[in-house]
Amino acid sequence: MIVSPLDYRYGRKEVKAIFSEENRLKLMLSVESALAQAESYYNVIPENAYKDIKKVVDSNEVSLERVKEIEKKINHDVMSIVEALTEKCSDGKNYVHFGVTSNDINDSATALQLKKAINIIMSDLLKLSKTMVKLIKENENTLMVGRTHGQHASPITFGLKLSVYLSEINRHVERLNEAKNRIIAGKILGPVGTGAALGENALKIQEKTCDILGITHEIATNQIVDRDRYIEYLSIINNISVSLEKFATEIRNLQRPEINEVSEYFNDSEQVGSSSMPSKRNPIVSENIVSLSRLLRSFIIPEYESSVQWHERDLTNSAEERFTIPYASILIDDVLNKMDSVFSNLYINRNEMLKKVINDQFIMSESITIALTKNGMPRQDSHEFVRKSSMYAYENNISLRESLIKNGIYKFIGNKDLEDAMDPSKFTGNSKEICEIIIKNSEYLSKYVMGDIYD
């Protein structure tokens, strides 16, 4: 019986495979193999024991079915793996899991899962970045109304709006790239973090094991990897999800019929928008992004609480981490790919954007204030003159231009200056330059980070 929506509705198979039972077993066995190799290197176990353990692990002789069969009897998940591996060994059977505890294997395996997940999330971010660069280049000069407090403000370009979004993505790329070595950490120092059972070379064995696995390692620890690492990972994921919800919310708002400036792709030939109203074309992907983003952010709360352990460790983190890290990783990949799909297929109603810009003279009030001030009127007087003219225009249902003329604006500036001040295309400031700076930053990051992604 399938219960979790991840099994039938959400998430991509590539990421779900990382956190599958089969892959988890494979990774835990790979940690046992790397441990044996490191112990053999420092003469803690015989070389033939390591080679035997490695042979069994590499040949996939340990089955998930057998592990579960053992666990039903002994009620210990990691020891079930140890016993199943020991059964298949000959020369190595006396040295499987030598000198370590369950969480040495568990947390090192989790580090391997995180390593793979971070690679995919980083690739997702870079893919989304590339999509947004293309959109920005196409819309550097696309005029639209800026909005503050839900009301029309000064004109902007759609490229500038997207550049604000891309600048967030750029920072997320930087954060994840900078934090990954802290996040992807294992440990091989036994049940209380002393490494006593491994002897005088315990720290070297830990370093060697983790080097073989391609992960970093703890130095001062107890029984588990310190959970501040997992909190940092989930914090970065949460931060990304907030950006995605922000983008999706803006698309939903701009798709409202009374605005009608952008909209999600809708397959007119087949897609159904509503079970009751056949005419509907709803922004369902953006709404799904918002919904899943809100859910995945909740997973950090139990991780915060599980970081508080009794003494050198208890078991209160174990059950919740079977949910938090896999679910958050699967869902952030899901929403990143959905966001990329939305932007890749976004319909941009440039005519409607321009129409709103042209038809609302009030969005040029800041520009007119600046023009008056440049022509000698004190700034506060300029502001008050335009404010009163705007209120008069609202009350008398006339255009701002008519109101300004009626209130004597030509006493202060000429008709040419007024025309220029009311031209939206001349009041987008450094929008294009900003777009180009953000694009350049994004392209640099993509090149820099792609060369640094883990194998």
Phi/psi of residue 171, nearest 5 degrees:
-70, -35
Q: Could you report how far apart the first and last alpha carbons of the chain are, in Å?
A: 36
Strand partners, 347: 263
> Helix 102-138 and helix 202-213: axis angle, to 10°?
40
Residues 250 and 247: their CA atoms lie apart, in Å, by: 5
Residues 195 and 252: their CA atoms lie apart, in Å, by: 55
Label residues 88-107 b or e (16+ Cβ within 10 Å = b).
bbebbeebbbbbbbbbbbbb
Where are the alpha helices (H) located in 298-397, listed in sequence order?
300-306, 318-344, 350-359, 365-374, 379-396
Strand partners, 152: 147
Structure tokens at 34: 């790397």
* DSSP calls for 219-240: SS-SSS--THHHHHHHHHHHHH
Lookup result for tokens 């002897």? 199
Q: Is 369 helix (H, G, I), strand (E, B) or coil?
A: helix
* Count of Cβ atoms closer than 10 Å to residue 72 Cβ: 8
Structure tokens at 110: 């989790």
Strand partners, 185: 216
To the query of whether residue 274 is one of the catalytic residues in this protein, the response is yes
The residue type of 271 is Q
Q: Which of 78, 270, 239, 86 is closest to 169 using CA atoms?
A: 239
Q: Catalytic one among 274, 298, 399, 425? A: 274
Q: Catalytic one among 59, 149, 275, 311? A: 149
Q: Which residues are the active-site residues?
A: 149, 274
